[in-house]
Amino acid sequence: MKSNFNDKQIQILEVAETLFAEKGFDGTSIRNIAKVAKINIAMVSYYFGSKERLLESLIVYRTSDLKNQLENLLQEDLEPIDKINKLIELYINRINSNRGIYRILHFEFTSKKREQNLQAFSELKKGNLKSLETIIEEGQKKGIFRKDVIIPLIAPTILGTFFHFHMNKPFFENLLNLKTEDLYNNYIKTNLTKHIQQTIKALLIYES
């Protein structure tokens, strides 16, 4: 699918992404965006209509291909537990390399202020949940996964663990001695991902 945005729009969107992620939607002004993107302040209204619509465009711009990635994973010929592990890796990787937009989604679309624009985002989440459900039910049929787990709560455990870690970045950088950005990213890719995989595996396979 070709992007519907031209170069200038993309330039604005990416500056907006950084600033919204850093200082929040309300904490970022159009003049702020314009200055960093080196454009005139009227260009935001010209291209996107309003600040609010700029945010909507940003979400469309960033979340359009996750669905495909998940569907491809479902088709792969793997054991359920390996699919789960791959799904976790996919999620963490994707969110971690698109921190900006996910931080924004996490922040802006949970406040009462913007409940309306929620629908597209909600559909995305429902689709993701469906994928997870398919994999787990597959494992349950095969007798590998326990059946008394609450599937919709597994997503919060996967994503919540990552987010809570990342939201407290300065705290964990200090605690775990992750002095450079590389060390921090590496810790996420190895230890944190492993921890989440280990947790979900234990939850799904453990028999009391």
List residues binding a second copy (CB under 8 A). Answer: 22-24, 26-27, 106-107, 110-113, 115, 118, 122, 125-126, 129, 149-150, 152-153, 155-157, 159-165, 167-172, 174-176, 191-192, 195-196, 198-199, 201-203, 205-206
Residue 161 binding result from a second copy, DNA, none, given CB thresholds of 5 to 8 Å by partner type:
a second copy
Q: Which of 117, 127, 62 is nearest to 95 (CA)?
A: 62
Within the chain, what is the greatest distance between any pair of CA atoms? 64
Question: Of the listed pieces 30-38, 128-136, 149-157, 163-171, which binds DNA according to CB under 7 A?
Answer: 30-38
Q: Which of 44, 112, 86 is nearest to 193 (CA)?
A: 86
Between 9 and 193, CB nearer to a second copy: 193
> What is the C-alpha to C-alpha distance for residues 20 and 108, in angstroms, rounded to an integer?
9
**Please, which residues have CB within 8 angstroms of residue 42's CB and are 6 or more apart in sequence?**
none
The only residue of 10, 22, 52, 147 in contact with DNA, by rule CB under 7 A: 52
Q: Which of 178, 30, 27, 42 is nearest to 104 (CA)?
A: 27
Between 32 and 63, CB nearer to DNA: 32
Residue 35 binding result from DNA, a second copy, none, given CB thresholds of 5 to 8 Å by partner type:
none
Token digits for 33? 């965006």
Residue 45 binding result from a second copy, DNA, none, given CB thresholds of 5 to 8 Å by partner type:
DNA
Q: Which of 40, 59, 72, 151 is nearest to 98 (CA)?
A: 59
Residue 29 binding result from a second copy, DNA, none, given CB thresholds of 5 to 8 Å by partner type:
DNA
31 is an interface residue for DNA by CB under 7 A: yes
Between 4 and 97, CB nearer to DNA: 4
The only residue of 5, 18, 39, 133 in contact with DNA, by rule CB under 7 A: 39
- Counting runs of H as helices and runs of E as strands, what totals does the chain give? 12, 0
43 is an interface residue for DNA by CB under 7 A: yes
* Residue 131 parent element (H or E): helix 118-141
> What is the C-alpha to C-alpha distance for residues 76 and 51, in angstroms, rounded to an integer?
41
The only residue of 5, 14, 24, 32 in contact with DNA, by rule CB under 7 A: 32
Binding footprint of DNA on the chain (CB under 7 A) = 6, 8, 28-32, 39-46, 49-52
